[in-house]
Chain A
Amino acid sequence: MRTLLHRTALATGLAILATVAHAQQPPEPSVPAGLGGDMPAAASSCLSCHGVDGRPVLIDVPIIAGQQPIYLRNALRAYRSGTRTGGQALVMQEIVKTLSDDDMDALASWFGGQ
């Protein structure tokens, strides 16, 4: 798992995986506590806001660990197509714009399975 995460961070240029105290910068990659299975590479850009243990610190960001996979998949596609708007949709539209259908399916399945 640790090796996978290191590769992911290097491949995406994003290592914002954990909410380490005192950080202004992307913290060092670490294994998300409490999350199991093979994490999809694209998930690295989700955890900084949605929480490394499935419980976000940010109070206006939803808990997605354990959410219904079909709901997650539909939500991701709606953000990418621009049909889901309002609230913090602008942030999600930016995050998902480069994801493929397969990426979205993998993310929905993995987060839903936590």
Chain B
Amino acid sequence: MPAISRRDVLKSTAALGLGGILGGIGWGIVGARATVHQDQASPLGIADDLANPAELHSVDGRLHADLYMSISDQTLPSGPAQLRIFNDTLPAPTLRLQPGDTLEVAFENRMPPNPDRRDITVNVPNRFNTTNIHYHGFHVSPLGNSDNVYLEIEPGQRFNYVVQLPQDHPAGSYWYHPHRHGSVSAQVASGAAGMAIIGGALDEVPEIAAAVERILVLQAPVPGIDGVLDDEEPIWALTAERDFLVNGQFRPRIYIRQGEVQHWRVLHAGDAQFLPLRADGLEIYEVGRDGNPLQSAQLTELIDLAPGNRADLLVKAGELGHYTLLRPAFNQGTQAMLEFVMADIFVIAADDPRVAPGIDFGTEIPTGELPDNDILVDIEDDEITGHRTFVLGVSDVKGYFHDTLFTINDQSFDPGRDDVVTKLGAVEEWTLVNTTPFPHPLHIHVNPFQLVEINGEPAPGKPWLDTVPVPAAGSVKFRTRFLDFPGRFVMHCHILPHEDTGMMININIQA
């Protein structure tokens, strides 16, 4: 892999050291680092209500998080499992930041040595105990000890990340997960992921500020056949993800009061299957996608999430009763996928005594335009400095995993090759053409993009995204500005077994 000297980076950040995430009940301050820790808890204070994951909040412009990845004993609906996850929790803690904050992550790889330390082949899944961290959707530097996915943090090693958010960083729902090519699918499919929330924008809309906020991290951990996952085979099949969890729970209960509007931040942290979601009988308004506000609240019956996507939803409850958060049966390309229930939703009385006193009770949906993020200004024709086309494909090549290589422009990933070289400040329009019978959710690091066309038709609302599903036998067109951060980063399929088997390119932005 390209050389960023881990030792050099460690020297430069050695002063950060390692701290400890405070356990215990309720709120606490983490040592002298002034990071606030909040335990997992129901936002309504009801004992059997779905709990939001534990949170770490920045204080005075700084968030210090101690994260480790280990092989952790967990219990899945299918039985005991050993999973590669952060901090022994499913999901990892939610990071709450503000634009301009500095995120410091003292990371430790506590996994055992890799059995395959030698003789690996690029684009064949390998070294499942080597890792790193990607800050998905963050508009930050891809270099050094920031959002650098070329790092390889080996078993037993520690690494200090320092991620500086710009003052004008778009506010919204983001996440973090490992991103080391060769082991990313195995680790994310294990459940190594957490949400990251950057405050501002939508949070300040009065109707949203008044609402109870729920975090829903959707994952489907896949264990190994006999213990820890040591082979790509169990996650290779598109239908392998058996039991989707919400915040680590199988089919949890979600409570909402009659007439109430709740703000749900939904993260699809699975590795392969799409999640079209319905909650029939409730009103669902989408207000943000991939952390970026929509133009206005959009009433919708179906929230279609590809792996990597986030949706900010306002959910309004009507009649008392039992409802479900459902993934209906659908076809992911040519593959039929089964229906299943993600969660049970109970609409309870507005004055239900189980709800803790003093809990917010939002009831309104914002009717006007939603606030925009300053830097997400529409990209007009005359701003474009270049066009590129990328063809997504798959090849049958002997010697690779299942004799398969996924490709972009007929080439599988080469860590030493710059597939795109352009200048900082360039504004480009990219067309992605999918020649396969499966959709591919393409994700670009560092800079968000504005979707302008799907299958040759204008994209409704031209949303700003960081992950877009390219339809099977279809195409999308988007525009993006390469701003603020020179360096090398990647674009790849977020069906992560596809990434590990080749569907990724390098983008080199020159200062």
- Residues of A participating in the B interface, judged by any CB pair closer than 8 Å: 9, 13-16, 19, 21-26, 45, 48-49, 57-61, 85-91, 94-95
With contacts A48-B437, A90-B456 taken as known, whether A58 is within 8 angstroms of B394 at the C-beta atoms is no
Interface residues of B, dominant DSSP: mixed
Determine whether the beta carbon of A94 is less than 8 Å from that of B391.
Answer: yes
Among the listed stretches B3-11, B162-170, B332-340, B369-377, which one makes contact with chain A, having 4 or more residues with CB under 8 Å of it?
B332-340
Determine whether the beta carbon of A21 is less than 8 Å from that of B433.
Answer: no
Residues of chain B within 8 A of A26, CB atoms compared? 394-396, 403-404
> Which among A57, A59, A88 is the interface contact of B475 at CB below 8 angstroms?
A88
Residues of chain B within 8 A of A89, CB atoms compared? 456
Determine whether the beta carbon of B455 is less than 8 Å from that of A87.
Answer: yes
CB-nearest residue of chain B relative to A59? Answer: B331
Within the assembled complex, what's the spacing in Å between the Cα atoms of A107 and B18? Answer: 65
Determine whether the beta carbon of A22 is less than 8 Å from that of B473.
Answer: no
Among the listed stretches B140-148, B231-239, B416-424, which one makes contact with chain A, having 4 or more residues with CB under 8 Å of it?
B231-239
Determine whether the beta carbon of B236 is less than 8 Å from that of A48.
Answer: no
Within the assembled complex, what's the spacing in Å between the Cα atoms of A6 and B436? Answer: 20
The verdict on B435 contacting chain A, using a C-beta distance below 8 Å, is: yes
Residues of chain B within 8 A of A85, CB atoms compared? 456
Determine whether the beta carbon of A24 is less than 8 Å from that of B455.
Answer: no
Within the assembled complex, what's the spacing in Å between the Cα atoms of A30 and B456? Answer: 33
CB A2 to nearest CB in B, in angstroms, measures 16
Determine whether the beta carbon of B404 is less than 8 Å from that of A86.
Answer: no
CB-nearest residue of chain A relative to B239? Answer: A22
Determine whether the beta carbon of B272 is less than 8 Å from that of A49.
Answer: no
Within the assembled complex, what's the spacing in Å between the Cα atoms of A23 and B438? Answer: 10
Within the assembled complex, what's the spacing in Å between the Cα atoms of A59 and B331? Answer: 9
Within the assembled complex, what's the spacing in Å between the Cα atoms of A85 and B391? Answer: 17
Interface 1/0 per residue, B476-509 and A, CB below 8 Å: 0000000000000000000101100000000000
The verdict on B98 contacting chain A, using a C-beta distance below 8 Å, is: no
Residues of chain B within 8 A of A14, CB atoms compared? 394-396
CB-nearest residue of chain B relative to A19? Answer: B334
Determine whether the beta carbon of B395 is less than 8 Å from that of A19.
Answer: no
Residues of chain B within 8 A of A21, CB atoms compared? 239, 335-336
Determine whether the beta carbon of A91 is less than 8 Å from that of B396.
Answer: no
> Which among B335, B431, B436, B474 is the interface contact of A60 at CB below 8 angstroms?
B474
Residues of chain A within 8 A of B354, CB atoms compared? none
A/B interface sample: 14 pairs, CB < 8 A = A16-B396, A16-B437, A19-B335, A19-B437, A22-B335, A24-B272, A24-B498, A49-B473, A57-B331, A88-B474, A90-B475, A91-B434, A91-B474, A91-B475
